[in-house]
Amino acid sequence: MEGTDSAAAEAMGEEMMNSIMGEFEKLGEKEDFQDIMDGMMRQLLSKDVMYDPMKQITAKFPEWLAEHEDTLPEEDYERYGRMYQYFQKIVAVYESEPNNHQRLMELMQDMQECGQPPAEIVKELAPGLEFGPDGMPIMTNMGSGVPMPPIPGMPPFPGLAGQQNCTIC
């Protein structure tokens, strides 16, 4: 954009952003958008993807609950107990009605209200996985506290020039 003044560049950027947003709005208006989303959710909730991990977590839960009954606050223990019941229900649906995606989605949403499964169980099943202070898994180069990698060909974000180890939180 050599020779273009900053006001013109800003206007061009705003015009491009408005165009992109318009395209997203059009996509949302298409009748097949919901079909696309439903298809993605069906793939994510398929028995091939979710059954084994759900069954493994369900198998580990009773022992974990017994080990932590005396050390967890009563409220947390009850929450984890409800979570375990949701895991059991989800496994049962996968075993009896694996294509009942609506029921699986409902149970997953209900289970999410209980928070994250115990990190100890998940770590045992996925040994290399690390967790942040909020109990959420941290992936390499992602998550809070991980330095933002430079983007080739782009200047640093405004206000961040010269700052070392800047992170996105």
Cβ atoms of 87 and 58 within 8 Å: the answer is yes
Looking at per-residue pLDDT, the higher value among 57 and 166 belongs to 57
Q: Amino acid identity of 49?
A: V
DSSP 8-state symbol, 154: -
Q: What's the mean per-residue pLDDT of the chain? A: 75
Exposure string for 111-137, b = 16+ CB within 10 A, e = fewer: beebeebbeebbeeeeeeeeeeeeeee
Residue 155 has pLDDT above 50, yes or no: no
Predicted confidence (pLDDT) per residue in 87-133, tens digit: 999 999 999 999 999 999 999 999 999 998 998 888 887 776 666 66
Structure token pair of residue 164: 């070392």
pLDDT at 45: 83
Domains and CATH numbers, the chain: 50-117 (1.20.120.900)
